[in-house]
Amino acid sequence: MSSNVSKKEIAHFSKDSHRWWEEDGPFAPLHRLNPTRLSYLKAQICARFCRNTDSLRPFEGLRVLDIGCGGGLVCEPLTRLGASVTGIDADAQALNTAQDHAISSGLDISYKQKLAEELRDRYDVVLALEIAEHVPDLTAFVESCARLLEPSGLAIFSTLNRTPKSFALGIIAAEYVLRWVPQGTHHWKNFVRPSELARAARHAGLRPEDVTGLIFNPLKRDFTLSRRDLDVNYFMSAVKADFYG
């Protein structure tokens, strides 16, 4: 099976992998994004699985896979919410950083240097956050995500829409004006329209159930969710059909 990963992309991110947990470091945008991102994840997962949303550990008993987990910024809070979390990434340095931080935080998280297509386990929830725009073959990647889900499991994607607005804000502003991320982090032609992601999801046996936009406020330097504005960043959640193998 051929690898659906870009070595150039991995090399680009790995040079800063030891700095994943620096809130004002190269991954600062993800730290600012995390509260809003986790709010969306919790709402979608609880709507599907949680019986007691008031519990401090509403994800107890759920098996969650975070594909492209990086330094573990999502893995750790999901573990605190009770989930059994596996994080995979192609970047060994990022995984070392993630593992060291998890140990220092007293958290039991399984980190593996694996690609999605190499796994054989099944999960209740599969996350693919800020990764779809970096894979060479979107259709094959979404198929791998679907294969790793239990029947009726939930996949959640987040990515960048391919619009003139996303080019202006996601590349020009983020990389060259605000210098939020290193130049060359994103390539506009690889951004994914919601229709393209939804089509790949359906082809893989997933049923898209929610699409929500993500808006950055440059004055407050924070993010909010939007039902209407999908022009730059967006989330998509999709459920695996029971009949899909």
- Mean pLDDT, the chain, rounded, equals 89
Q: What per-residue confidence (pLDDT) applies to 242?
A: 67
Contacts of 168 (CB under 8 A, 6+ apart): none
**Residue 6 reports pLDDT greater than 60:** no
Whether the CA torsion 36, 121, 56, 21 is positive or negative: it is negative
Mean pLDDT for the stretch of residues 26-52? 93
Q: What per-residue confidence (pLDDT) applies to 182?
A: 63
Residues pairing with 112 in the sheet: 88
* Range from 7-16, 38-47, 117-126 carrying the lowest mean pLDDT: 7-16
Query: Are 132 and 141 within 8 A, CB to CB?
Result: yes
The DSSP annotation for the chain comes to: ------HHHHHHHHTTGGGTT-TTSTTHHHHHHHHHHHHHHHHHHHHHH-S-TTSS-TTTT-EEEEET-TTTTTHHHHHHTT-EEEEE-S-HHHHHHHHHHHHHTT---EEE---GGG----EEEEEEES-GGG-S-HHHHHHHHHHTEEEEEEEEEEEE--SHHHIIIIIIIIIIIS--S-TTS--GGG---HHHHHHHHHHTTEEEEEEEEEEEETTTTEEEEESS--SSEEEEEEEE-TT--
Please tell me whether the overall predicted TM-score, pTM, comes out greater than 0.75 for this model. yes
Domains of the chain, each with CATH number or no CATH:
7-240 (3.40.50.150)
* Range from 96-100, 143-147, 217-221 carrying the lowest mean pLDDT: 217-221
Residues pairing with 214 in the sheet: 225, 233
**Residue 177 reports pLDDT greater than 60:** no
- In the block, tokens 């924070």 appear at 222
**Residue 7 reports pLDDT greater than 80:** no
- In the block, tokens 């992998």 appear at 17
**Residue 200 reports pLDDT greater than 70:** yes
**Residue 137 reports pLDDT greater than 50:** yes
Q: What percent of the chain has pLDDT over 70?
A: 86
Residues pairing with 239 in the sheet: 154, 207
Mean pLDDT for the stretch of residues 9-21? 76
| Distances 89 to 56, 99, 160, 182, 241 between C-alpha atoms, Å | 28, 12, 20, 20, 26
**Residue 245 reports pLDDT greater than 50:** no
Nearest alpha carbon to residue 45 among 3, 86, 93, 83: 83
